[in-house]
Every structure is written in C-alpha cells, then in structure tokens.
Amino acid sequence: MVAGSSHGDDQFVSMVDIIDSGDFDSNRIHVVYNISGDLSLTGFSVGAVYTYNDIVLAAAEKFSKFSSISVPSHQLLVSMLSNQKFIQIFVETNTGRLKRMHAEFVAGLKQLGIECMKSSGGFYCWADMRKFISSYNETGELELWDKLLNVSKINVTPGSSCHCIEPGWFRFCFTALKVKEIPIVMERIQRVTGSLISQR
C-alpha cells in the first residue's frame, strides 16, 4: 500500500519507521516506493528503492541507468516535493476523496449482495463474487468476467490474474470514477448478477 493512498481509520506505519526498532535482518528488508499513486502522476513511473543491502542497491543503480527520469519530469517533481504546503493539502484532499469513493463504492456493492475484503488503503477493492460463478473454478470465474465486460461494460480484474488461489474474487478499481457514476456502475453490474441469480 502506498502511504499517501491510505483512506481507512488504521494509521499507516512504514517499515522504514520500525526497521531499527525490532529484531530484523535489515539486509532482507527492501522498501519499494512509487510516487505515481500518492501524487496522481500515472505515467511518470518514478519510484525509489530503500535498502540496507549493498547487493540490491548495486543492482538497482545499474538498472537505473537504463530508465532514468527525464529532465522535465525531474524538474516538476522537485518543484512539487519542495512545496510542503502543497503536498500537505494535496494528500489531505486526496485522502478525503479516496475515503468517500471507497465507502460509497463498497456500500453500492453490498446492496447488490457483494461483500468486499476490509481495506484501509489503495485504489481497488477486493470483491467476493463466488456465489455468481457457474462453476467453482477458473473457468467459472472467467465466464463471469466475460459477462461483466461484454454485458455490463465493466472491466474488472479476475482474481486468477492476481494469482488468487480461490475462484470468484475480483478486483474493482473505484478511483477511475466520479461519485455520481457509482449508481450507473452498480446498475450495470446488477444486469449480470441479477440475471444469474434468477436463473438458479
């Protein structure tokens, strides 16, 4: 989870904050950070690796030579990150919007009989749609995914694409929407889930 993309009541605790306070082998802990999520800079692909491991650090330095940040991107990021007031306002506003979108999207799914795994951060919700699959396997999951895509016009990620071992779980991205669009999305999902329930 990205620190600035938290939206739950649980306080985000970074491994960086506790690495020195516990009995850890610091050479085996690597923190990978992507700035795109926290600052809504999709496409910038700017990140950082924080590690005490000299071997990992040396490898990362070699890789970075083939994927350096462009000068315009670098200048923009330095300007943004140097403005502490802007960053504070942005993160507070973003957190509030994420919290509202997550709450309303999950509530909409719940009205359709779809429960989600509890989450306190990120741009997605992990939805349990096992009762809507025709067969308890990857084939049944992909059949439901196909109906959601082609009938509902909703593109979700089937759990099998995320290496989920249990069929019927789906990843919904709720941050690509506006609040007023959530009822439309729910109505589209119900076209498929409602027809599947009525057929049984």
The distance from CA 35 to its chain's CA centroid, rounded to whole angstroms, is 13
Q: Comparing C-alpha atoms, which of 169, 188, 87 is closest to residue 124?
A: 169
Kindly state the percentage of the chain with pLDDT values over 70.
96
In this structure, are residues 121 and 2 in contact, taking their beta carbons and an 8 Å threshold? Answer: yes
186 has a pLDDT exceeding 50:
yes
Domain boundaries, the chain: 3-82, 97-198
16 has a pLDDT exceeding 50:
yes
Q: State pLDDT tens for residues 33-44.
A: 888 778 878 778
Residues 6+ apart with CB under 8 A from 81: 87
How far is CA 133 from each of CA 36, 114, 115, 139, rounded to the nearest angstrom? 34, 13, 15, 9
pLDDT at 126: 97
Backbone angles phi, psi at 80, to 5 degrees: -65, -50
N-term to C-term CA, the chain: 39
Backbone angles phi, psi at 45, to 5 degrees: 50, 55
Beta bridge partners of 33: 48
In this structure, are residues 46 and 37 in contact, taking their beta carbons and an 8 Å threshold? Answer: no
Q: State pLDDT tens for residues 23-77.
A: 778 888 888 888 877 887 877 878 888 898 999 999 988 888 887 888 888 898 8
Tokens 């990205």 appear where?
2
- pTM for this model (two decimals): 0.82
* Span 97-198 CATH architecture: Alpha-Beta Complex (3.90)
Residues 6+ apart with CB under 8 A from 137: 167
